Amino acid sequence: MTFAERMLHIDRRIIFLVIGVCTLLPLLYPVGLAIKVSPEVRGVHDYIESLPEGSVFLLSMDFDPASKPELQPQAVALLRHAFKKNLRVIGMTLWVTGTGLADLVVSQAAQEMGKVNGKDYVFLGWSPGVGSLIITMGQDLYKAFPSDYNNQPTRELAVLKGIQTLRDVNYVVSLAAGTAGIESWYVYGKDKYKFELGGGCTGVIAPGLYPLLRSGQINGLIGGLRGAAEYETLIGQKGRAVAGMDAQSATHVAIIMLVILCNVFYLLIRTSRGQSGQPRG
Amino acid sequence: MIFLRRQLPLLITFVAGVVFAAQYYVPHPTSELMLTEVTKWLQIISGFALVLGVTSLFHIHAVKIRRKEPGWAYSLILYGGILGTIAAGFSYSFTAGQWVNGKETINGIVTAFGWIYSDMMVPLQGTMFAILAFFIASAAYRSFRARSREAALLLIAAIIVMMGRVPLGEMLLPVSGDVTQWILNVLNAAVRRAILIGISLGAVALSLKIIFGMERAYLGGGKE
């Protein structure tokens, strides 16, 4: 077995170790690389920035704990921005397994910004149906959620005063880890009830949402941890996402180096086999 | 019985399909009221789907345990997990002085259900997802090879996008950020849009076939 062949069959635990070190070291010793803001993320930020005080902002946290590292920083950054702008915030989720997490995110961000439950914000929780839930909210918000997550009757909440349906919501952002998520909010919600829609998602599903972005069906897209870091940069409150970008940078470069190395060894083997007349693998 | 098994469901499907397709274009209050009521029914039916799913899960794993199939112990753990979580969700919190009622916290006090959620489910799901990074790196090293021109093109695009999505990559190769944006906004969006249009046309065609009774697979099998 040649050196190149040996390298191609390297023990995968060595690769795991490389990735582990590349993740851990930047987290322990952050470098703080400059983050360039993309137009997609700026789209969401600028729209929230343009909303007048008291406007209604609905944040649908459509993810479960598996996507917490990418989407929780997005939710925190968006909530901080919305609370800073004194918007009326409605939190909810389309994923039953994400309910506890979403409640925690909203209540912690609200507490940090000195906001009062029921007056400045409300967390509606989860209700079944996805498409039918969004349509019900579009028809009558109080039929979809007669009470909030803390069992308070929604009709009596000051934060929802003057809001009857989704048509009265100024901006909806869905932070999605898959389906149900942004596409559901567009198909069942925005198309009929004409509110403005933005999105946030995990890095892996972001490319699939670009057609919605280019056609204006969503006015911005926060993609993965990078998107969250961009948003944190925009609001000037650097948090977990910015801290995680160094680790992500190092792992991306490590994977690129591994792929390049693997191809160098592969080409070396092909060339040597070609010279000796053996079939190429 | 053929009327109840076949003709009635087909009739209901046809009427509901036509009425609700038309409803979208009729903003009359009566039409909107009908939509509000029906979507509420749909929400209730969706709730039952959850119960059906859990029941089915219980049934499948009960069979595995009874037959002592390979890995039956995992089914036992699943049973323990589900029943334990349900019990915690319905339990009484002595610290908070009230029933948990499926809440993670009551007046800031973490319940047993909240403990299961925050200290077991959240870290376990996070760990499962995080492990992916290691396997992706290993798989990329072993299989991401330029075996053909197409594979080489994919490889180059992947490297550029990976560089362009992180600050270090943009620092090492400044053009990668702009090229990534172009790949995502032009090439990727165009291909995705074509796929979406194809899927949507397929969905419309399938819906029409279901409404007009040409597609009957949803009725299930069985004797007529």
Mean pLDDT of B163-183: 92
Tokens 């859990």: give the residue: B54
A101 touches B at CB < 8 Å = yes
Contact A195, A55 (CB under 8 A): no
Report CA B13 to chain centroid distance, whole Å.
Answer: 25
Tokens 């009521």: give the residue: B37
A36 touches B at CB < 8 Å = yes
In this prediction, residue A279 carries a pLDDT of 60
Kindly state the helix (H) or strand (E) to which residue B132 belongs, with its residue range: helix B122-143
A235 touches B at CB < 8 Å = no
Q: Work out the angle at residue A30's Cα, subtended by the Cα atoms of residues A26 and A33, and round it to the nearest 5 degrees.
A: 100
Per-residue CA distances from A207 to A42, A201, A222, A268, B155 (Å)? 17, 10, 11, 34, 17
Return the amino acid letter for A1.
M
pLDDT in tens, B107-161: 888 899 999 999 999 899 889 888 988 998 999 888 888 889 999 999 999 999 9
* Confidence bin at B224 (pLDDT 50/70/90): very low
Note whether A129 contacts B39, CB cutoff 8 Å: yes
Cα distance between residue A134 and residue A197, in whole Å: 13
In this prediction, residue B105 carries a pLDDT of 84
Please tell me whether residue B99 adopts helix, strand or coil conformation.
Answer: strand
Mean pLDDT of B94-110: 86
Cα distance between residue A144 and residue A135, in whole Å: 9
Cα distance between residue B78 and residue B76, in whole Å: 5
In this prediction, residue B80 carries a pLDDT of 93
In this prediction, residue A118 carries a pLDDT of 94
Strand order in the sheet with A88-93: A121-126, A88-93, A56-62, A171-176, A196-201, A221-223
How far apart are the CA of B11 and the nearest CA of chain A, in angstroms? 22
In this prediction, residue A170 carries a pLDDT of 96
Contact B105, B114 (CB under 8 A): yes
Question: Number of CB pairs < 8 Å for A and B?
Answer: 170
Give which of A259, A261, A265, A267 to mutate to test B binding, by max B Cβ within 10 Å: A259
Please tell me whether residue A152 adopts helix, strand or coil conformation.
Answer: coil
Tokens 């925190």: give the residue: A76
Q: Which residues of chain A have pLDDT under 70?
A: 277-281
Q: Work out the angle at residue A87's Cα, subtended by the Cα atoms of residues A85 and A88, and round it to the nearest 5 degrees.
A: 160
| Residues contacting A227, CB < 8 A, separation 6+ | A38, A40, A41, A74, A200, A206, A221
Structure tokens given for B21? 């397709």
Per-residue CA distances from B201 to A177, A184, B191 (Å)? 25, 17, 16
List chain A domain ranges. 3-30+245-276, 39-238
Q: Looking at domain A39-238, does it have CATH number 3.40.50.970?
A: no
In this prediction, residue A243 carries a pLDDT of 86
Share of chain B above pLDDT 70, in %: 98
Cα distance between residue A192 and residue A183, in whole Å: 13
List chain B domain ranges. 146-224
The answer to whether the complex's ipTM is over 0.90 is: no
In this prediction, residue B86 carries a pLDDT of 92
Higher pLDDT, B200 or B218: B200
Cα distance between residue A13 and residue A125, in whole Å: 42
Please tell me whether residue B110 adopts helix, strand or coil conformation.
Answer: strand
pLDDT in tens, B20-39: 999 989 989 999 899 988 98
Cα distance between residue A260 and residue A268, in whole Å: 12
Give which of B135, B136, B145 to mutate to test A binding, by max A Cβ within 10 Å: B145
Higher pLDDT, B4 or A113: A113
